[in-house]
A and B are shown apart, each in its own frame.
Chain A
Amino acid sequence: MRKANFIVSGTFTLFAIFIIAISLGYPPSNHGVPGPGMFPIIIASLIILSALTLFIFTLRMPKELDTTIDLKSKNVVNVYITMGGLVLYFVLLPLVGFVVTTSIMLILFIKWFSKRAWWKTILISVLFTVAIYLLFGSVLNVPMNYGLLI
């Protein structure tokens, strides 16, 4: 947890510095009334203060209280692969179309996660995709037709 806390405090500090750097370029206060950059600077300062507090508390944390965070086990790697798959799905979705991309994504994930027979996996995936397509497209009038296919 110590390492994670240091990363959290470091990342948030960089984020706050980024906010301040941009906010300084905004129009200044006018007759005491704050400009658009003032509140972001206040909040960014609060972030730096909290990140510093977290950093100091973590430094003073007894080593025996430290816990490890699982970031490399097989289970977590599965999450990373899932994230990658979903990013790819997000990229392909507007290009190919909802029904085809979603059906394929579901087939691959369900087959991987559940190891069910192919025909059952395909049936579940296609039925669910079509149900969502009809619910959002026809009942809720959300435009669901985009991409090269459907």
Chain B
Amino acid sequence: MLLEVLNSVFSVQIFLFIILGVFTGICIGSLPGLTATMGVALVLPLTFGMEATPGILLLIGVYVGAIYGGSISAILLRTPGTPAAAATVLDGYEFSKRGESGRAMGISTVSSFLGGVVSVLALWLISPQLAKLALRFSAPEFFLLAVFGLSIIASISGNSLAKGVLCGALGISLSFIGIDGITGYPRFTFNNINLLSGMSFIPVMIGLFAMSQAFSTVENIFTPDQVTQKISKVWPSKKDWKVILKTAPLSGAIGTIIGIVPGAGAEIGAFVSYSQAKRSSRHPELFGTGIPEGIAAPEGGNNGVTGGALIPMLTMGVPGDAVAAILIGALTVQGLQPGPLLFTEHTTLVYSIFLGMFIANVTMLVLGLSSLKLFVKVLSVPKAILTPMIFVLCVVGSYAINTNFFDVGVMLFFGILGYFLQKADVSVSPAVLGLILGPMAESNFRRALLMSEGSYSIFVASPIAWVFVALTLVTLLGPVVTERLKKRKVA
């Protein structure tokens, strides 16, 4: 098997796709307004005609590169390129003010690499074990797992639990469209032939993540682009290496754990790692003034999320974050179903993804240290030209999946809807995750009742089921109880 994996990954074609992915990802991530999710959604249509391994690795390259790339504008412009780099701004920009942007970017590059490598190792070690455990799941457990995933997504996304649930439920509702998998009855199709096979979720994702983001960019399209400064001395000094080696791997581990939690993305990973580094520091008052720990922690943390988010996605079909949700779409297009069976039926592919992700992190390190000046130049590409080009990519990308203009309309509709939802402070991520977890929840719910001949006791018949029920209750009621206790203490 090892030879097959090496054979599958160590080819010129795969290396080129990984390099192309990481390069594109860094460029996309470094541009404020273009997120990692948007980047992966825009590149996704290019993988439709590819084989599974190069296609998935191209997207993983974009993911890894974009999460790192966000730090470039965070450090230089005080504007995070992606939300994942928001915590990097705090200390990163202070370096630039001192004229040490090169040093800051060197710390960011190495820390992102170490965080990413820790997450790949975790992916490598944890996933096969989790997949083995998931093989013991049947319909009731998968239903409860989906409910648990949805409860977490709702509770951590945005500022309001109610809005999170609403958006998640909207996603689930979209999954009802089409022929019912169990009875064959057409639901919510309104005699429209395009709706019979269900809502294709790639146009929905391109609309919600890429098009809506492009609309938001139009709001500030006439604001002049910021000027960037020159950078030098990227390679970290001995003193900085010590800090990086002490901080980044731990932050990577924290990011990985956060990535495993469905719905928690790189932004949360970066902030939690930053506050952990601050708490455990002997000089917490220096955080925010431009110290190496202030960059190493969030950068290690956000790249740590990348591998972590793939763990539940590959082993159970539950996306760890919005990018993992798009990767599920990419696997589905290739005729592959993420879940425990992927590890037994497509072992070579799974381990090729692990190895390819490690190579993507090495590529990111090499490109980051050697070509930073080039990526800084990307920042000067005017958004006035870039944004209309993104419109075209969104349209062509949605059309390409089924060569169908109906999908373009769907993308445009969800782009407009996503823009207004963002205006109303409703996070759109739960909708996409709901669209993926909804069918998993419904089909397993009904299958479980078929198995038990209508008895609901099947949902609490196994210890694993009880664990999921308890986790769901803690997730939904935990924040409410904590809030009540806090209020009581204050009173």
Binding site for B on A (CB under 8 A): 1, 4-5, 7-8, 12, 15, 19, 22-23, 26-27, 29, 31-40, 43-44, 46-47, 50-51, 53-54, 57, 69-71, 75-76, 78-79, 82-83, 86-87, 89-90, 93-94, 102, 105-106, 109-110, 113-114, 124-125, 128-129, 132, 135-136, 139-143
Contacts and interface: CB of A to CB of B under 8 A. Distances in A.
Interface in B380-419: 382-385, 387-389, 391-393, 395-396, 399-400, 403, 405, 408-409, 412, 416, 419
Contacts of A79: 215-216, 218-219, 419
Interface stretch (B169-177, B277-285, B296-304, B354-362): B169-177
7 cross-chain pairs, A with B, having the tightest CB-CB distances, nearest first = A32-B454, A114-B384, A113-B384, A109-B388, A54-B162, A36-B180, A4-B424
Interface of B: 45-46, 48-49, 160-163, 165-166, 169-170, 172-173, 176, 180, 182-183, 185, 187-188, 215-216, 218-222, 382-385, 387-389, 391-393, 395-396, 399-400, 403, 405, 408-409, 412, 416, 419, 423-426, 438, 441-442, 445-446, 449-450, 453-455
18 contacts: A8-B424, A32-B453, A43-B438, A50-B163, A53-B162, A57-B162, A71-B423, A83-B416, A90-B408, A106-B392, A109-B387, A109-B388, A110-B388, A113-B218, A113-B222, A113-B387, A114-B385, A142-B396
Contacts of B187: 23, 26, 36-37, 40
B442 A8 contact: no
A33 B449 contact: yes
Given A1-B425, A110-B388, A113-B221, A142 B382 contact: no
A125 B384 CA distance: 12
A76 B416 CA distance: 12
B388 A113 contact: yes
A106 B395 CA distance: 13
B84 to A, nearest CB: 25
B388 A31 contact: no
Q: Is the interface of A mostly helix, strand, loop or mixed?
A: helix
A136 B219 contact: no
B395 A142 contact: no
Contacts of A113: 218, 221-222, 383-385, 387-388
Contacts of A43: 169, 172-173, 176, 438
Contacts of A7: 424
Contacts of A114: 382, 384-385
Contact of B176 (A40, A78, A94, A102): A40
A68 to B, nearest CB: 11
Nearest to A121: B385
Most B C-beta atoms less than 10 A away, residue of A23, A39, A94, A110: A39
B454 A31 contact: yes
Contacts of B173: 15, 19, 40, 43-44, 47
A22 to B, nearest CB: 6
Nearest to A5: B424
A17 B445 CA distance: 23
A55 to B, nearest CB: 9
B169 A46 contact: yes
Contacts of A32: 449, 453-455
Contacts of A105: 388, 391-392
B219 A110 contact: no
Contacts of B446: 33-34, 38-39
A86 B412 contact: yes
Contacts of B165: 46-47, 50
A114 to B, nearest CB: 4
A102 B400 contact: no
B218 A12 contact: no
Contacts of A34: 445-446, 449
B157 to A, nearest CB: 13
Contacts of A23: 187
Given A33-B446, A34-B449, A78-B218, A94 B405 contact: yes
Nearest to B219: A75
Contact of A140 (B215, B400, B455): B400
A125 B424 CA distance: 34
A3 B216 CA distance: 21
